[in-house]
Structure 1
Amino acid sequence: MKNLRHTPLAEIEETLKEWGEPKFRAAQIHDWIWKKHVSSIDEMSNLSKALREKLQSAFVIPKVTIDHSQFSNDGTIKSRLKLHDERFIEGVLIPTEKRITACVSSQVGCSLSCKFCATGYLKRMRNLEFDEIVDEVTLINQQAEKHFNRHLSNIVFMGMGEPLLNYKNVLKAIERITSPDGLGMSPRRITVSTAGVSKMIKQLGDDGVKFKLALSLHAANDKKRNEIMPINESNDLKTLIESLNYFYQKTGNEITLEYILFKDFNDSIQDADELVKVYRQIPADLVNIIEYNAIDEADFSKPDESVTDKFMGYLASKRVNARLRRSRGKDIDAACGQLANIDRNELPGAIIAQ
């Protein structure tokens, strides 16, 4: 049977016409799907029982559900989300005084194998469909309303997977999220983070997207970046710098550089100077310096506070707009780079994706 949410409105109208139903029923169905986010056709209470039965014979609504959630001491909520095919992803709600942000996944697993990221040690099982991403955002928004009495203010595609390797579904999901008959969120409050897929960064520019872009840089020379991010071997810094400039020329949208500090690897003053040189070549609004969050699979650790202070001080001396981003949700493995594929039974009480 067809996925009702993948069926164009015109096709629903044509199907209803064949069934002898009035055209306005299609708009009602559309409203149930995208405004009220029903999980079954039975919930469409303003449709007759006979019409609902016909719809059920021809269409399905595969839904994402929250399997389990875990709450951090700092208010962060990490949820294990179950997909229709029994696979799992993770999504994170991050509340602060000024913002309430959803960190969402775009793939089940990941294919990029970044050495510092727990998700990078997983296999990429499949891409998320656009409606699954919309469900993920909707469920996290419901958590925000329930626990904080606030709507989501921001969305970051920084969860499991590489968004630009699921390009069409991510863009279609954002189209639905920003639609007036969806969540109605401004695209300026959405950030898509990439490990650096140069070809697709240029495609974003050609497509004239309105959302923000973040590059997970993490090393400012090719030798070090190759060591921790294999994607750099085919998307080196020169190529990335060119693609980011192209993106900015086409869109004028905000670009952020993300840089995790690893002890004795990329935290020296020389590393900071190399970061400054990359920053000077990109129209970046901000450099986020990120605390490293340890994972079992990797031997990295975060530098001492004094080293971090010196690194930040050097950036400030060179007038780099840099911010030290403190991790949230570390006590529930919800922080940057910690989303992983571990059987929940191995960690009682925790929410783990697989």
Structure 2
Amino acid sequence: MEMSVKPKIASSVGVAKPAAKKDLRKTAVADLQAFMTAQGQPAFRAKQIQEWLWKKSVTDVAAMSNLPQTLREQLAEQFDILPVTIAQQQKSNDGTIKLGLQLHDKHLVEGVLIPTETRMTACVSSQVGCSLTCKFCATGYMDRVRNLDAAEIYDQVVLIDRLAKQNYNMPLTNIVYMGMGEPLLNYANVLESIRLITSPEGLGWSPKRITVSTAGIAKMIRKLGDDKVKFNLALSLHAANDEKRNQIMPINESNSLVALRDALKYFYAKTKGEITFEYIVFYKFNDTLQDAEELYQFTKHVPVKVNIIEYNPISEAQYVNTDPQTLDKFAAYLEKRGVVVNVRRSRGKDIDAACGQLAIRNKN
């Protein structure tokens, strides 16, 4: 369960309620410019503020040193910046770092830094909890509380990048939207966060270093195509058979493999973007050569690569990882048919930071 703190309610008798401050990071440039005019400041100050917020990742107006002191005081009186903060931190034996990240309303999400010799990858969350109830995923056993806004997703990247530099003297190289939540059910905020991360006025990342993973929302995959996104798309497939996929991923009942196939073809036609299928091989469930053949047939619709992922058991589910020999045979079957296959070994299992294990648990 996510941790939340209920604020104490004070008596308001005889006390004037202060005006609520606006969220500076949700204030449009035009509104900031109007504020500057009202304060007798030049309109270009708004652009300076945007640069501090999104290029320099500043979360305190007092640090905006090229603004006049009086303006900084006026901003502090009328605006808030609501940054994500690190509430918990664990480091795995393999170097993976899992973070419990606290939002302004005291809810928690998890983010992960996954280091290798050549890459530093941030795994970020897009929702508090999740509504999709995938049977093998710890987050799927939580309720969906709310969507994250774009700044909250952006903050995860900034915080994890700092950790990478502090711990490994290396900046982030990749971002995956594979943490808590279904990114395509928080579509606008996810795309806005990617704009902030990739824009020259933001962090200036290449979108090709970003991958958004979905459990398979066909109409939203089509919308990605219509919006001609430039980041990579990953589909959490885990079975290329409707009957089996229905058992582990209830979303498949309304987004069948045929619907997903057609959506992926549409997406690829519109974007020519890289597509990856993620496939966890569960013991005696989807690990036979017949399952591999069904997966191979599904890969023929669009150019894809397949990531075969080692499963990380959770207490809520009965599924376990297949044995190494079966996994190797499964991968070899696909490779012989020309499929690009990567076998992803788990990272951070000892701290519940591996794929499918993210869930905020109340430890009280």
1:144 to 164, 168, 173: 164
Q: Write out aligned runs for 1:318-337 (5 A).
A: 318-337=337-356
Whether the aligned pair in 2 keeps the contact of 1:178 and 1:185 (CA below 8 Å) is yes
Cross-structure match for 2:3: none
Q: Which amino acid aligns with 1:23?
A: A
2:329 to 305, 310, 322: 310
Q: Write out aligned runs for 1:237-256 (5 A).
A: 237-256=257-276
Q: Which runs of 5+ in 1 are unaligned?
A: 346-354
Counterparts of 1:306 and 1:149, CA distance in 2? 37
Q: Write out aligned runs for 1:191-340 (5 A).
A: 191-284=211-304, 286-340=305-359
Using the size of structure 1 for normalisation, the TM-score is 0.95
Q: Write out aligned runs for 1:57-206 (5 A).
A: 57-206=77-226
User: Helix, strand or coil for the counterpart of 1:328?
Assistant: coil
Cross-structure match for 2:56: 36
Q: Which amino acid aligns with 1:337?
A: G
Counterparts of 1:176 and 1:309, CA distance in 2? 40
**How many residues are aligned here?**
344
Whether the aligned pair in 2 keeps the contact of 1:261 and 1:302 (CA below 8 Å) is yes
Whether the aligned pair in 1 keeps the contact of 2:51 and 2:202 (CA below 8 Å) is no
Q: Which amino acid aligns with 1:80?
A: G
Whether the aligned pair in 1 keeps the contact of 2:100 and 2:360 (CA below 8 Å) is no
Shift of 1:57: 2.4
Counterparts of 2:132 and 2:269, CA distance in 1? 28
The Cα RMSD (Å) is 1.1
User: Helix, strand or coil for the counterpart of 1:287?
Assistant: strand
User: Helix, strand or coil for the counterpart of 1:247?
Assistant: helix
Counterparts of 1:86 and 1:279, CA distance in 2? 42
User: Helix, strand or coil for the counterpart of 1:289?
Assistant: strand
Whether the aligned pair in 1 keeps the contact of 2:110 and 2:360 (CA below 8 Å) is no
Whether the aligned pair in 2 keeps the contact of 1:290 and 1:327 (CA below 8 Å) is yes
Q: Which amino acid aligns with 1:150?
A: M
Whether the aligned pair in 1 keeps the contact of 2:214 and 2:234 (CA below 8 Å) is yes
Q: Which amino acid aligns with 1:33?
A: L
Counterparts of 2:284 and 2:145, CA distance in 1? 34
Whether the aligned pair in 1 keeps the contact of 2:242 and 2:256 (CA below 8 Å) is yes
User: Helix, strand or coil for the counterpart of 2:175?
Assistant: strand
Whether the aligned pair in 1 keeps the contact of 2:128 and 2:180 (CA below 8 Å) is yes
Shift of 1:47: 2.7
CA offsets 1:153-204 (integer angstroms, 9 cap, x no match) = 1100000000000000000000000012322110001000000000000000
Between 1:270-279 and 1:52-61, the stretch displaced more is 52-61
User: Helix, strand or coil for the counterpart of 2:37?
Assistant: helix
- Aligned identity (percent) is 60
Shift of 1:281: 2.1
Whether the aligned pair in 2 keeps the contact of 1:245 and 1:283 (CA below 8 Å) is no
Counterparts of 1:305 and 1:23, CA distance in 2? 63
CA offsets 1:113-155 (integer angstroms, 9 cap, x no match) = 0000000000000000001100111101111111111111110
Using the size of structure 2 for normalisation, the TM-score is 0.92
Counterparts of 1:128 and 1:113, CA distance in 2? 19
Shift of 1:38: 2.0
Whether the aligned pair in 1 keeps the contact of 2:139 and 2:358 (CA below 8 Å) is yes
Counterparts of 1:185 and 1:267, CA distance in 2? 37
